[in-house]
Structure 1
Amino acid sequence: MCNACLIEDVKRSMLSRRALFTGAAATTAAAVTAGLTTARPALAQSAGRVVDLTHAYDSDFPTFDGNPGILYEPAVKFEDSGYQLWKLTIWEHTGTHIDAPLHFAADGRSVAELPPESLVCPLCVIDLKAKAAEDANAMVEPEDIEAWISANGEIPAGACVAMNSGWADKVATPAFRTNAEGTFAFPGFSKAATDLLADAGAACIGVDTMSLDPGDSADFAVHYSWLPSGRYGIEGLAGLDGVPAKGATIFVGAPKHKLGTGGPARVMAVV
């Protein structure tokens, strides 16, 4: 299936299926928020090192639909006025950005309605680089989470669980988005894994690719389950090699525009 056809199929599916999740979303979101208080002891005690997990981006940054995610237009020029500023046209889901519940749930929380305490999280990083080197559409599976727990202990309530597939290194190449045949190909989470993380009380999942679901997903199962449950996601993370598997705290600088389904974010970790 062509990329454009896939996007249109997903749009139709979103319209027909969003209503299925609206009832459960508010209940689950309240449970996530309540569980965040137990995450406070798991937050890192800063040693003063801050790691930027955000890509700088411009109109050349790869996007899902292939169109520029940000456009610049001079609004005031320095030579005319002694100062300068741009008029920006930004598509919400570009660069390093947030997926809010409203993105895949008609009555979900907007990005402006995310509880501030959910944006400061213990960070758990699952290394998927070996699997991703073998399969461009590799997924974080329950066994990867169980292996992380065996090595690092339980996942704290309210945590952000991030996948480090090594894909951020490809961001300046076509391989970040598609394979040689022009088909979407990049790692993501499996629904079975995110169901497990939901049961564990995680508040957020993050990926160093363009989508929470892998590139070859035909149904966006993670988007359709994780986001309508009241949780959020981060796509396009950078710098995950610079943080440990556990022990860091992530600070998610989510935008706060009303009715936002997400938006570009500055994401940093303190170690």
Structure 2
Amino acid sequence: MCDACLIENIKSSMLSRRALFTGAAATTAAVVASGLTTATPALAQAAGRVVDLTHAYDGSFPTFDGNPGILYEPAVTFEGNGYQLWKLTIYEHTGTHIDAPLHFTEDGTSVADLAPERLVCPLCVIDLTAKAAEDANAMVEPADIEAWVSANGDIPAGACVAMNSGWAAKVATPEFRNTPDGSFAFPGFSKAATDMLAGLDVACIGVDTLSLDPGNSADFAVHFSWLPGGRFGIENMANLDQVPAKGATVFIGAPKHKTGTGGPARVMAVL
């Protein structure tokens, strides 16, 4: 083939590709304009900053029952093998983790069956630090939600509403879990607040403490009402003080083991 012919062939190929891409872009624009896309309109317009909302953890990380939540056992050592790996024994509700509906229902949705579109959602952060400084068992109440809405606008359907109580800073101390006399003490949500959020079609709630309910709860009212409704929670979140009250999108890396009642998760916010 002559050089001139080769050049003409390349030109024709480039023009064909350009037409193809132009057509694809036009089709995409039409789909978006017609509302046929599944993207959540309320997702934040990311500027490239990512905040990790997940604690790194090992067997010393605080747990509700006080027992190690993860155990390591060498399965293969580097010496003599050239690679290494651990055998892990992990309890589902440890570290930064998800409470799936199945956690507090006999036949609810497992962590493996959570709808993917509920795992990427707008993040709304309620600042409870002042109340928590006065009361270790402070709760997010309807008034706190109303104050957030007054300052920031409506809570989007499908959102993750997280409580920043400042408790994450205590994670390496006994005060993260209990008072000196051994009584559970940490902030959480009130049932009245989560009932309000359920009415707004909020996908999940999150806390920077050991439990969705406050430490002094005697009946786990939030667990028993929020989870059976098909919603989920995230416990032991980190770095909520590094994200704004609104405008971030949270990506919830839920585990996907069948019949799971929850499990450790990698949770990240994109700003």
Q: Which amino acid aligns with 2:58?
A: D
- In the other structure, the counterpart of 2:204 is 204
1:260 alignment counterpart = 260
| Residues 39, 144 of structure 1: alpha-carbon distance in 2 compared, 3 angstrom cutoff | farther
Structure number with bigger Rg: 2
Q: Deviations over 1:126-147 (max 9, x none)?
A: 0000000000000000000000
Instruction: Report the counterpart of residue 146 of structure 1 in structure 2.
Output: 146
Question: Could you tell me how far 1:52 is from its partner in structure 2?
Answer: 0.1
Give percent identity, aligned residues only. 82
Would the alpha carbon gap of residues 38 and 178 (structure 1) be closer, same or farther in structure 2, given more than 3 Å must change? farther
The answer as to whether partners of 1:124 and 1:161 remain within 8 angstroms in 2 is yes
In structure 2, C-alpha distance between the alignment counterparts of 1:38 and 1:172, rounded to whole Å = 41
Residue matched to 2:51: 51
For the 8 Å contact 1:164–1:241, the answer to whether it is kept is: yes
Q: Distance in 2 between matches of 1:119 and 1:150?
A: 26
Distance 1:204 1:190 in 2: 14
> Which of structure 1's runs of 4+ aligned residues deviate more than 6 A?
none
- Where 1:43 maps in the other structure, the secondary structure is coil
Structure 2 unaligned blocks of 5 or more: 1-36
CA, structure 1 residues 224+39, in 2 after alignment: closer, same or farther (shift >3 Å)?
farther
1:68 aligns with 2:71: no
Structure 1 residues 226-259: Cα deviation after superposition (integer angstroms, max 9, x where no partner): 0000000000000101100000000000000000
**Residue 48 of structure 1: CA displacement?**
0.2
Offset, 1:89: 0.2
Query: Which deviations, in whole Å up to 9, do the C-alpha atoms of 1:143-162 show, x marking residues without a partner?
Result: 00000000000000000000
Judging changes above 3 Å, is the alpha-carbon distance between structure 1 residues 38 and 244 closer, same or farther for their aligned structure 2 residues? farther
What RMSD over aligned residues (CA atoms) do the two structures have, in Å?
1.0
Could you tell me which amino acid in structure 2 is paired with residue 241 of structure 1? D
Counterpart in 1 of 2:127? 127
User: Is the contact between residue 39 and residue 157 of structure 1 (CA under 8 Å) also seen in structure 2?
Assistant: no
- Matched residue type, 2:242: G
Q: Is the 8 A contact 1:39 1:156 kept in 2?
A: no
SS at match of 1:181: coil
Which residue matches 1:82?
Answer: 82
Letter in 2 for 1:121: C
Matched to 1:178, the amino acid is N
Cα distance, 1:38 vs. partner? 9.1
Deviation at 1:263, TM superposition (A): 0.1
On the 8 A contact 1:72/1:86 being kept in 2, the answer is yes
**Gapped regions of structure 1 (runs ≥ 5):** 1-36
Q: How does 1:1-271 map to 2 (within 5 A)?
A: 40-271=40-271
2:98 aligned partner, one-letter code: I
Q: Output the CA distance in 2 between the equivalents of 1:42 and 1:162.
A: 16
Could you list the per-position Cα deviations for residues 34-87 of structure 1 after superposition, in whole angstroms to 9, with x for gaps in the alignment?
Answer: xxx998111011100000000000000000000000000000000020000000
What corresponds to 2:27 in structure 1?
none
| 1-structure distance, mates of 2:142, 2:89 | 39
